[in-house]
Amino acid sequence: MNRSFKSFVIPIALFCLVILFSWQWAKVLERPAAAINLGPPISVAGDEPIEPIPITAELNQEKVALGNQLFHEPRLSRDNTISCASCHDLNKGGTDQRAFPIGIDSQEGFLNAPTVLNNSFHFRQFWDGRARSLQDQIEGPIHASHEMDSNWPEIISKLKQSPEYVQAFKQIYADNINSDHIKDAIAIFENSLFTPNSRFDRFLRGDTNALTNNEKEGYRRFKAYGCVSCHQGILLGGNMFQKFGVFGDYFKDRGNITEADLGRFNVTGQEEDRYAFKVPSLRNIELTAPYFHDGTAETLDEAVKVMIKYQLGREVNQQDIDLIIQFLTTLTGEFEGSSP
């Protein structure tokens, strides 16, 4: 092979190798970021990690009625302007649909107000789980200076000025108005705020036509990608704590870290609880925006993408995200016989 021929062939060969390598690399980049086994298509409910909400509950209806009145009673606050319903509006999915709630003197809170619907099924109360019961939870907003900023002697004194309240407490509790009875009535009322018979619950109970094919595909992806590892049980959440930012530093990326962002750490002081929160319920999730403890996600699309990035460490295409959101909309249940 003479020198002129080599000088002609070798550059062409190298050029072809570069083209071939570039083409192969482009094919690699086109591949999904992480292959995932979706499992078989879902046509009927099988052995699912999610349970339907009970259809009925046996509750003392007199206590429910009294608790309802107290839940909407602004006299529980120091200046008679804020009730439980101010931050947990039953016409807004049990929330105020704000990033942070507004208390007395127009003070803004530090954490997003979670829905009060289905609250009785949570294993703990508050984002940091500091209250073990609904009765204990009531103590929080009553005494918080940026919420109701009141106290029991003051509240009881005001309620005793109402003959209707005095009569109701004597009739139901055979006693005078006291803090334990007030908390009991409100807690019993909150037990009545459950939302059964969502389309997904009907599917779990055997109605194969309760979900569309796309919604079933969304549920399949919800399980396959790992969302169900934290969002399971009767509430699709509400039964465990989890760090916010398992596969990435959410708080560093968001910036402006506050004491409220420390989550469970504020209760236990344990380093492993830093940035850990109670996993929120996904029940009625389409009604309760904005999302997360800091209220930063304004849409379900944004919330799902943040969860996929920081909790699952995955890259998911928009089509799968849309399918998951379609599934999430099937979790809206009935409230007092109709959708919340």
State how far Cα 210 lies from the chain centre: 23
Identify which of 326, 309, 324, 327 has the alpha carbon closest to the alpha carbon of residue 33. 309
Query: Which of 48, 51, 108, 147 is an active site residue?
Result: 147
Amino acid at site 58: E
Alpha-carbon distance of 71 to 48, in angstroms, equals 35
Q: Is 147 a catalytic residue?
A: yes
Evaluate the CA torsion angle 154, 157, 163, 164 in order and state its sign.
positive
Measured CA to CA, the distance from residue 50 to residue 277 in angstroms comes to: 20
Give the residue from 238, 196, 193 showing the smallest Cα distance to 91.
193
Give the separation between CA 67 and CA 54, rounded to whole angstroms. Answer: 21
**Phi, psi of 49, deg, nearest 5:** -80, 5
Q: Which residue has the tokens 């071939």?
A: 20
The whole-angstrom separation of Cα 192 and Cα 336 is 9
Catalytic residues: 147
